[in-house]
Amino acid sequence: MKDFIIFLNTEHETKPVVKVKEARIEELRTYPGSSYFSRELEVVIDGKLMYLGEHPAYNAFKYEVTYYPRISRSVRKRITASAEFTLWQIKESPLVTAFDVPRAVARIGVALVSMMLYGNPFAMKPINITRKDFIRLKELIQTKRGKLTRIHVKRRGIFGKVELTASNIKVGLEEEYPNIDFNELLRNASIIHSLGFSLFPPAVERLISFRITRWGGGQIYSPSEPSDYEILIVMDLLKEAFFPGLV
């Protein structure tokens, strides 16, 4: 499984230029206006972002960081963790993607990507996926003969939570629960927390299944170790659904 978080590059129409090959968290702490990241900077201790190079579809970065992981409140002494993560700035797309990294830690890494490409940490921001975005994504997947495989929504009322996972991701929820109108469920939900899908893209021999949440976090469930090409298929689907004017 591959975890990911997508962020919005507000400067995506401006061609990025790698201004420096390395950016450090200490530089972000002293940058004017860095209080914008105050909550996340309480989580990270130290680290740096390094430019790995340009690929045909993205610019790659390595993010080395020491941080405070989320642990049980019963643990009195605060522990630290050090790790390396990968981030992509996807070309011709408003998406920046962080892989297998905690949310607050990713936020700082993406700010460093912004500093490296645009000279300031504010060009890349957390994304908010709306009801219309989710509905467009479902419609897009289904035009490609994909399936809705997971749904987590909140309806109005006491018994408002609906959370379902297809027992067979090749079949999907709509075939498994034919008495549920999932389109109406999405239209009437007060909150759409997440949706999951599966599909066989053209020229790919393996089934791709993934989930996306309303704050931009998600998982690619299959293949368990997706190739770069398979990851980019998911990112392109998200771009096409969430930013239809850019396609």
The pLDDT tens digits for 84-131 are 999 999 999 999 999 999 999 999 999 999 999 999 999 999 999 999
Q: Give, as one character, the DSSP assignment of residue 15.
A: P
What pLDDT score was predicted for residue 9?
96
- Tell me the average pLDDT across 2-15: 94
Question: Rounded distance, CA 134 to CA 20, Å?
Answer: 37
Q: Does residue 13 surpass a pLDDT of 90?
A: no
What pLDDT score was predicted for residue 70?
79
Which residue from 6, 101, 84, 8 is spatially nearest to 50, judged by alpha carbons? 84
pLDDT digits (tens, 9 = 90+) for 222-238: 999 999 999 999 999 99
The mean pLDDT value of the chain amounts to: 94
Q: Which two tokens stand for residue 192?
A: 């759409």
Q: How far is CA 156 from the centre of its chain?
A: 27
Q: Which two tokens stand for residue 131?
A: 């009801």
CB distance 145 to 200 below 8 Å: yes
What pLDDT score was predicted for residue 215?
98
What angle, 0 to 180 degrees and rounded to 10, lies between the N-to-C axes of helices 228-242 and 131-143? 120
- Tell me the average pLDDT across 41-48: 96
Which stretch of 48-52, 61-65, 112-116, 158-162 has the lowest confidence by average pLDDT? 158-162
CB distance 63 to 109 below 8 Å: yes
Distances (CA, A) of 175 to 142, 163, 164, 193, 232: 13, 16, 13, 22, 28
Q: How far is CA 239 from the centre of its chain?
A: 11
- Checking DSSP bridges between strand 191-199 and strand 147-154, what pairing results, if any? antiparallel
| pTM, to two decimals | 0.95
What pLDDT score was predicted for residue 76?
58
CB atoms within 10 A of CB 152: 19
| DSSP count for the chain of H helices, then E strands | 7, 12
Q: What percent of the chain has pLDDT over 90?
A: 87
- Tell me the average pLDDT across 32-38: 97
207-237 burial: b if 16+ Cβ within 10 Å, else e: bbbbbbbbebbbbbbbbeebeeebbbbbbbb
Residue recorded with tokens 């011709």: 92
- Tell me the average pLDDT across 176-189: 95
pLDDT digits (tens, 9 = 90+) for 130-165: 999 999 999 999 999 999 999 999 987 656 789 999
Question: Rounded distance, CA 205 to CA 76, Å?
Answer: 49
